[in-house]
Amino acid sequence: MKIDVLTLFPAMFAGPLDESIIKRARESGALDLRIHNLRDYAHDRHRTVDDRPFGGGPGMLLKPEPVFEAVEAIARENTRVILMSPAGRRFTQAIARELAQLDDLLLVTGHYEGFDERIREQLADDELSIGDYVLTNGALPAMVVIDAVTRLLPGVLGDDESAKEESFSPSMPGLEYPQYTRPAEFRGMKVPEVLLSGNHAEIAKWRAEQAAARTRERRPDIIQAVNPQNERRL
């Protein structure tokens, strides 16, 4: 998979995307990741990429000229161009799975007060937000999307079944059940007996019950979204 990122802060990507699963994905060739500096597409002496909004108001907007030039230079025929923006649809595991089926993404990260609207209208295939809060720029959200998508690529996790048994996966639409490892008792805290029983049917039942209870307690919004007519089924 190819992922390009257009950003004003390329140095922010150097650490997080050179570690762990993403590093291995890049080394194996499963992920071809390239970071592009938006200022390379501004041609005045100050490499200007922003200007004041027409009509007044606080802050600055990203200008259309450098963004259009950059996207037209970077994007290929099948590239899906995604703006990282608070105005986008909220990023979810389902969207991560959707994007992982594609071959070519270009993530355009915002800054200041956002984008000139013509960028949205003419360049963007989609807009994504990672949550209802304000960040300094779109670099961190882009990293979140890259991480979530990369781990779904075939062979990246080593065991492709791992991604199928996680929270928000199709087989587990709610939160994941509690998990334990050795020792069986630690500081008086014991692992539930059912997990030591070897009875796989009972273990599966316990895990489903625990996952449903945890989801009801912590994320009732998920229950409503998954099963609005009958909450008890989750």
Same domain? For 182 and 86 the reply is: no
Q: Which domain holds residue 38?
A: 2-150
Asked if the structure places residue 81 within a domain, the reply is yes
Question: For 208, phi and psi rounded to 5 degrees?
Answer: -65, -40
Residue 24 banded pLDDT, cuts 50, 70, 90: very high
Q: Are 217 and 225 in contact (CB under 8 A)?
A: no
pLDDT of 232 above 50: no
Residue at 159 is within a domain: no
In a domain, 194, yes or no: yes
Rounded distance between C-alpha atoms, residue 139 and residue 53, angstroms:
22
Whether pLDDT at 35 is above 90: yes
- Band (45; pLDDT cuts 50, 70, 90): very high
176 within a domain of the structure (yes/no): yes
Q: What pTM, to 2 d.p., does this model score?
A: 0.86
In this structure, the answer to whether residues 118 and 18 fall within a common structural domain is yes
User: What contacts 24+ positions apart, CB below 8 Å, involve 129-133?
Assistant: 129/84, 129/85, 129/86, 129/87, 129/88, 129/89, 129/90, 129/91, 130/84, 130/90, 130/91, 131/90, 131/91, 132/86, 132/90
Shared-domain flag, residues 79 and 192: no
Is position 157 within any domain? no
Evaluate whether residue 80 is within a structural domain: yes
Are residues 33 and 146 both part of a single domain?
yes
Residues 146, 183 share a domain: no
Share of the chain above pLDDT 90, in %: 84
- Residue 142 and residue 75 in one domain: yes
Return the structure tokens found at 7.
């950003």
Residues 214 and 126 in one domain: no
The domain that holds 143 is classified in CATH as 3.40.1280.10
Same domain? 111 vs 210? no
Q: Does an H or E element contain 15, and which?
A: none
> What tens digit of pLDDT does each residue of 167-221 get?
566 666 789 999 999 999 999 999 999 999 999 999 999 999 999 999 999 999 9
131 and 218 in a common domain: no
Residues 67 and 181 in one domain: no
Q: Are residues 124 and 215 in the same domain?
A: no
What is the total count of domains within the chain?
2
Between CA 57 and CA 137 the distance in angstroms is 19
Task: Note whether 146 and 181 are same-domain residues.
Answer: no
- Domain CATH for 196: 1.10.1270.20
CA distance 26 to 47: 31
* Residue 78: inside a domain: yes
Q: Let me know if residue 162 belongs to a domain.
A: no
